[in-house]
Amino acid sequence: MNTADQYLKAIYLAQMMEDGPASTGQLADMLDVSPASVNEMIGKLEDRGLADHEKYKGVELTDDGIGRARDALQTYCIIERFLANVLEVESYREEARALESVIDDTVAERLDTIIDRRSECPDCFDPEADRCECLIAEGQAD
């Protein structure tokens, strides 16, 4: 997953939490980057037809952006589930965040064959809690 995909995922989750456009400040907090970095990436996403930004109102994903964001979120969930359920890593959330930028689609697909991912993924992800609801149901905790 590349940096653009991480931004798309963050915008998607922010839109879910806000039920509307995501603010640059909220995205900067979610991604632990500066608002200037967020604005720069939003411009690139707009140029690629993945997002629409209206000054002072926020950014929303286009249909193509939503598709890419959902793929990125699913990859993150695969990594999280693999770390939590297969490797039994206690700090799986922190490790998944660190790994998501370096795991490509091929590796994610192979990890997916190992885990027991539910069909509702990535809709099982709770943006407010910042975790997969299925992991919570299975008794996984931070």
Please give the full DSSP string across 73-131, using - where no structure is assigned. Answer: HHHHHHHHHIIIIIS--TTHHHHHHHHTTT--HHHHHHHHHHS---TTTTTTEETTTTE
Low-confidence ranges of the chain (pLDDT < 70): 1, 136-142
Give the separation between CA 64 and CA 54, rounded to whole angstroms.
18
The pLDDT assigned to 138 comes to 52
Cα–Cα distance measured from residue 44 to residue 66, given in angstroms and rounded to the nearest whole number = 16
Q: What pLDDT, on a 0 to 100 scale, did the predictor assign at position 142?
A: 43
In the prediction, which pLDDT does 136 show? Answer: 55
Best CA proximity match to 9, nearest among 96, 83, 69, 76: 69
What pLDDT is recorded for position 140?
Answer: 43
